[in-house]
Amino acid sequence: MTGEPTQVLRPSPLRCLGLSAACAVMAGMLIYLWIEGTGDAWIPALFMILGAIFFAFHLVPNAYALWPDDQGFNVSEMFTVKRYEWSAVSVFNVRRGILGYYVEFYHDMPGEERPKRIVLNETYGFKPVDMARLLNNCRNRSLEAKPAAKKTWPSQNS
């Protein structure tokens, strides 16, 4: 096992551009309404501008990315990189949330009594089911090479 990244997953540029453009268009329409005298339309316009910047920021290299390797994976969100070792994470599950489906897993934190639930906020152009499958395949390959690293995890409903 080399620890070399097998691939780097990044957000879909088309999705990011589309969402950024949609927010910018909505902001433009709201600013127009505000100029025409529609009260406080500048408030939602400000949020739309922030949304456009947020989604455009996903296009900056390595601002948002996931790097799986033989020992684990790194997740970068807003240039904050977190490392998770395969031996310290549970299987990856798909859950339904308010805004759609997402991928979650448990991370065994040293010194903690219970594992911490982690949600991946980005699926990097994959459907959540495919993202969970990809990460589970990487995890299983690593754990097959080191069978002593397997752990017992809390039930999915705890």
pLDDT of residue 135: 93
pLDDT of residue 100: 87
Q: Is residue 119 part of a domain?
A: yes
Q: Is residue 36 part of a domain?
A: no
Q: Is residue 3 part of a domain?
A: no
Q: Is residue 5 part of a domain?
A: no
pLDDT of residue 148: 57
Instruction: State CA 149 to chain mean position distance.
Output: 25
Q: Is residue 102 part of a domain?
A: yes
- C-alpha span between 10 and 60 (Å, rounded): 10
Q: Is residue 68 part of a domain?
A: no
Count of the separate structural domains present in the chain: 1
Of the candidates 13, 7, 11, the one whose C-alpha atom is nearest the C-alpha of residue 124 is 11
- On the 0-12 / 13-18 / 19+ scale of CB atoms within 10 A, 92 is buried
Strand pairing of 72-77 and 80-85? antiparallel
Q: Is residue 104 part of a domain?
A: yes
3-class SS of residue 64: strand
Contact 76, 8 (CB under 8 A): no
- Could you list the residue range(s) of the whole structural domain that residue 136 is in? 80-147
Q: Is residue 52 part of a domain?
A: no
pLDDT of residue 79: 84
pLDDT of residue 124: 84
pTM (2 decimals)? 0.74
3-class SS of residue 85: strand
pLDDT of residue 103: 92
Q: Which residues of the chain have pLDDT under 70?
A: 1-6, 147-158
pLDDT of residue 1: 43
